[in-house]
Amino acid sequence: MNDSMRDKVVIVTGAGAIAEGWSNGRAAAVLYAREGARLLAVDRDLQSAEATCAIIREEGGTCEVFTGDVSNSADMRRMVEAAQDHFGRLDVLHNNVGIAETGGPVEASEESWNRLLAVNQTSLFLTCKYALPVMEAQKRGAIVNIASIAATHWLGFPYVGYSATKAAMIAFTQNIAVQYAPLGIRANCVSPGFMNTPMVSASLTKAYGGEVQAMLDTRHAQCPMGFMGDAWDVAHAALFLASDAARYITGTNLVVDGGLTLRCA
């Protein structure tokens, strides 16, 4: 274990995984802990959050669990209070929760659109609403939001709700970065490209014809480096932006895509 996050308190939302394997949230939570942070692992699925927490504790780290709905204001207020109750402060807010649904304005349902807004966009507003005053009182803090290259690029199929909410995330991050910079608080995004995570297999296989392996093979081949990244690639980028090594970086969008967006340009 290194110590780039020694004794810092980190909230990771979406710290569980929707299936077996390393999700972006689980990898981020474990990596922060390996770097010395104390974690509040947040997920709507208690069992999944506890599985992440168990990994951290087995490695000698410190972790507590909070279950709640990121689109519910009262839950997010209690989440921030839980971090303070457990650890006495809050240094990093890592917003990882997100869902992906395909379809354009005609194909997608209103229910799908509203669900994406609530989970991908409103959640960001609510977590920051309650975390920022704590960080402001400390005169220090960092926010890392997990966006997507879908915010700025066409990825081969209609993705309008997901793309729109991730684009909003980048704009939201830039706004709070400027507003809170004089107060010692930084805010940045990580935009992953094609990643091999449990959510990809669960949400996008249908868009690629229904076969998981065929979907994975296609996405690997589309990446200039010849392979998709994974949750650890996203986690290491987030760790850098959350750490003091990035003390003079705010309002940026760090693309982690193996060069894919250069090919899309």
Q: Per-residue pLDDT averaged across 193-203, rounded? A: 76
Going across the sheet that includes 38-43, the strands are 62-67, 38-43, 9-13, 92-95, 141-146, 185-192, 253-256
At 217 the pLDDT is 86
Tell me phi and psi for residue 150, to 5 degrees: -65, -15
At 156 the pLDDT is 82
Name the strand (E) or helix (H) holding 7: none
CB 144 within 8 Å of CB 24: no
Cα(87)–Cα(149) distance, rounded to whole angstroms? 34
Fold (topology level) of 9-258: Rossmann fold (3.40.50)
Q: Which of 15-19, 196-200, 206-210, 229-233 has the weakest average pLDDT? A: 206-210
The model's confidence at residue 263, banded by pLDDT at 50, 70 and 90, is confident
Residue bearing tokens 């997901």: 162
At 134 the pLDDT is 98
* Interacting residues of 106 by C-beta distance below 8 A, sequence separation 6+: none
Cα(159)–Cα(31) distance, rounded to whole angstroms? 30
Q: Per-residue pLDDT averaged across 46-55, rounded? A: 96
The model's confidence at residue 228, banded by pLDDT at 50, 70 and 90, is very high
Amino acid code (one letter) for 142: A
The model's confidence at residue 206, banded by pLDDT at 50, 70 and 90, is low
DSSP assignment of 156-218 equals SS-BHHHHHHHHHHHHHHHHHHHHHGGGTEEEEEEEE-SB--HHHHHHHTGGGTS-HHHHHHH
Say yes or no to pLDDT of 7 above 70. Answer: yes
**Residues that are catalytic:** 162
Mean pLDDT of the chain: 93
Say yes or no to pLDDT of 211 above 90. Answer: no
Q: Is the dihedral of CA 164, 234, 17, 228 positive or negative?
A: positive
CB 242 within 8 Å of CB 236: no
pLDDT tens readout for residues 83-93: 999 999 999 99
At 157 the pLDDT is 82
- Reference 38, options 1, 5, 76; nearest CA is 5
At 218 the pLDDT is 84
pLDDT tens readout for residues 99-149: 989 899 999 999 999 999 999 999 999 999 999 999 999 999 999 999 999
The CA–CA distances, whole Å, from 241 to 5, 76, 185, 244 equal 11, 23, 12, 8
At 155 the pLDDT is 83
At 139 the pLDDT is 97
Cα(176)–Cα(182) distance, rounded to whole angstroms? 11
Q: Per-residue pLDDT averaged across 189-204, rounded? A: 80
* Interacting residues of 219 by C-beta distance below 8 A, sequence separation 6+: 194, 196, 200, 208, 228
At 213 the pLDDT is 81
pLDDT over 90, % of the chain: 80
Say yes or no to pLDDT of 209 above 70. Answer: no
